Amino acid sequence: MSGSAAVWWQSGTVYQIYPRSFQDTDGDGVGDLRGIAARLDYLAWLGVDAIWISPFYRSPMADFGYDVADYCAVDPLFGSLEDFDALISEAHRRRLRVILDFVPNHSSIEHPWFAESRASRTNPKRDWYIWRDPGPGGGPPNNWLSNFGGPAWTRDPATGQYYYHAFLPEQPDLNWRNPEVRAAMHDALRFWLERGVDGFRVDVIWHLIKDEGFRDNPRNSDFQSDQAGINRFHQVHSCDQPEVLDVIAGMRAVLRAYGERVLIGEIYLPIERLVTYYGPGLTGADLPFNFQLIQTPWRADAVAALVAEYEAALPEGGWPNWVLGNHDQPRIAARVGEAQARIAAMLLLTLRGTPTLYYGDEIGLGHVPVPPERAQDPWGRNEPGHGRDPERTPMQWEDGPNAGFTAGTPWLPLSADAERRNVDAMRDDSRSILTLYRRLLSLRRDHAALSIGHWRSLSLPADFAAELFGFERFIGDETLRILLNFGNREWGVPLEGGGTWTILLSTCPGRAGDRAEGSLRLGPDEGVVLQAVGR
C-alpha cells in the first residue's frame, strides 16, 4: 500500500465454510446455518476476519447448492432466513464479515424462470436462458462440452431446441446478454446487501458471457486421457469473453452503492488473463481469485517464479490474493504432505494479498477416502476420479461421536484419525498446525508489514533455489523476512545485507525469540518469519 489506508478485505483474511460440512445442529448429518453461528466464537478465536459461506439458497441440490432454485431464500436443509439474520448479526457482533456465494451463471432447472423459459419458444422468459436450434446433423448446436462430462447441450422435447449448461443438465446457463436477467440478478444481490452481507464470491464469473456466434471450441492436441473430458477442447469461445467485464462492472456498481463491500470472482485462467478481471480502471472484481498456488508444482523455485510473475502482472492498484484450497480441489495437506502443509500455511499468510483459508486446512485435514457407495459428488459419478467428496468431509471438533459434527449420520465420512485430529485436541498443543495457523493469523494482524506491506523477493544462492524461497515484507520502518524450506534438508542460509534478526515465528516450535546474525540454520521443512533488530 503506498500510504493509502487499506480496506477490510485487503488487510483481512477470509475463511471459507462449506455449510454442509461445518456443524450440524439438527441431527440430519448435514451442516446448517445455526451450526455456523454456534462456531463463530471459534472463528473469532482463530483470528480470521471474514467468512465466505458456500451456497445455502433453496436448491434441489443436484450440485449441492450450486443449482439455485430461489436466489432469495434459504434452503430448509440449512435453516431459514431468520437463522441467516441471526447469523449475520452474531458474526458482526464479533467483527466477522460475511461473504455469500453468488451463483449467477446458471440456475437450477427447477427455478421458476427456467420453467417459464422452457414452456414455449415465445415465452417472455425464453431468452433468459440459452436456447439454440439443433446443429446441421440434428445433434447439439456446437462442440461445447460440460465441465462435468458429456455435451453441454441438452435437447428439450417440448420445443425441440437445445439449452446450454456449462455444468450439469440440471444447471441451465442464464443469458447475461439479456438486460432483464442482469436486472433480476442485481435485485437478488440487493436483497442480501440489504440484510447486511459484506460481499460476494461470484461463482464461475469468467463463464457469464459466451461467444455471440457460438463458434466451436478448438481441439486441444495436448489432451491427456487422465484429464477431465472438458479439456479435449480449449475453452476459448464458451467463456472468458471481453463483454464479461461490463457485466462484472455492473455487479460491482450494485455493491458499491452499499459502501465497502467486496466482490470476489472465481476464475480459473492463466495469470495474464486472470489479471484482466480487475477490469479497466479497476471497475472489475476486487479480488479475482488467484488459484495459482493450487496449480503450480510444490517446489521453491516454481513457487518463487509464480509469485514474482503474479506480482509483476498485477495492474496498478490491483490488490493481490492467494488461495491454497477450496471445495473443488484436493486438500493442501493431501497434495504436499503433513510437514509441508505447515510451510504452505506460512506462505499463504505471509504473501502480499488477501489470503483465503479453507475450513479444515487449519487442522491439517488431508485426503479422506470416500468409499464408492458413499460417493456424493455428481462430477465424480459422471467422470470417475474427478469427484470432490474427499475435500468436503465434515469439520472435526472434538474426540466424540462424529467428532462433534453431528448427532446423526454424517453425509460424508470423517478422517480415520478424527479422535486426535480435531480442534479440541489441537487448540492447546503448541506443536499443532492449528496453533501455527492461529499464531500466523495473529502475527498478520499485529504487523502491518504482513497485512498491507510491500513485497520483494530475496536472492538466495543458486544451489538453494529448488528448495528455499525467501522474501521480505516491509512498510514504514518495519521489515520482516520470510524463509521457507520446501525440502527436507537442513540449510545454513546467509542473511543478505547483514544485521541481526529475531525469529518471530517458526513452523518448528521452540525457536521463537532466537537471534541470528550472518546466517540462519533452517531445519528440514522449516519456515521462519524474521524481524530485523534495531533497524
Residues that bind ligand NOJ (CB under 6 A): 63, 66, 103, 167, 203-204, 266, 327-328
Whether residue 203 lies in the annotated active site: yes
Q: By C-beta, is 395 or 449 nearer to ligand NOJ?
A: 395
Instruction: Verify whether residue 211 is a known catalytic residue.
Output: no
- Nearest-CB residue to ligand NOJ? 66
Q: How would you label 36-68 residue by residue, b for 16+ Cβ within 10 Å and e otherwise? A: bbbbbeebeebbbbbbbbbbbbbbebbbbbbbb
Cα separation, 50 vs 348, whole angstroms: 16
Least distance in angstroms from the C-beta of 230 to ligand NOJ? 12
Smallest distance from the beta carbon of 327 to ligand NOJ, in angstroms?
A: 6
β 515-517/500-506 pair status: antiparallel
CB of 401 to ligand NOJ, least distance (A): 29
C-alpha count within 13 angstroms, C-beta hemisphere, residue 76: 1
Per-residue CA distances from 246 to 53, 253, 255, 285 (Å): 26, 11, 14, 11
**Who's near 383: CB < 8 A, 6+ residues apart?**
148, 149, 228, 229
Backbone torsion region of residue 61, taken as left when φ is above 0, otherwise alpha when ψ lies between -120 and 50, otherwise beta: left
> Which C-beta is closer to ligand NOJ: that of 15 or that of 464?
15
CB nearer to ligand NOJ: pick between 90 and 328: 328
> For ligand NOJ, which is the closer residue by CB, 167 or 411?
167
Place of cell 436456447: 131
Which residues are bridge partners to 219 per DSSP? 233
Residue 56 or 167 having the CB closest to ligand NOJ: 167
Asked if 114 and 347 touch (Cβ cutoff 8 Å), the reply is no
Between strands 491-494 and 14-17, the pairing is unpaired
Q: Cα separation of 348 and 357, whole Å?
A: 8
Say which residues have a Cβ less than 8 Å from residue 42's Cβ, sequence separation at least 6.
Answer: 423
Could you tell me the three cell numbers for 13?
Answer: 483474511
Q: Where are the alpha helices (DSSP H) in 80-178?
A: 81-93, 112-119
Options 67, 101, 170, 203, the catalytic residue = 203
In sequence order, which residues have a C-beta less than 8 Å from that of residue 251 and are 6 or more positions away?
Answer: 104, 185, 186, 189, 200, 202, 263
In angstroms, the Cα distances linking 185 to 113, 162, 205 are 12, 23, 13
CB of 266 to ligand NOJ, least distance (A): 6
User: Between residues 18 and 501, which has the closer beta carbon with respect to ligand NOJ?
Assistant: 18
Q: How far is CA 260 from CA 13, 317, 323, 390, in A?
A: 15, 16, 22, 35
Least Å from the CB of residue 19 to ligand NOJ? 13
Shortest distance (Å) from residue 219 CB to ligand NOJ: 24
Query: Cβ of residue 182: shortest distance to ligand NOJ, in angstroms?
Result: 19
Residue closer to ligand NOJ, measured from CB, 20 or 473:
20
- Please tell me which residue in 266, 377, 472, 525 is annotated as part of the active site: 266
Q: Which is nearer to ligand NOJ, 10 or 108 (CB)?
A: 108
How many Cβ atoms from other residues are within 10 Å of residue 286's Cβ? 24
Nearest one of 187, 168, 183 to 109, comparing CA atoms = 168
Tell me the closest approach of the beta carbon of residue 280 to ligand NOJ, in angstroms.
26
In eight-state DSSP terms, residue 192 is H
Catalytic amino acids?
203, 266
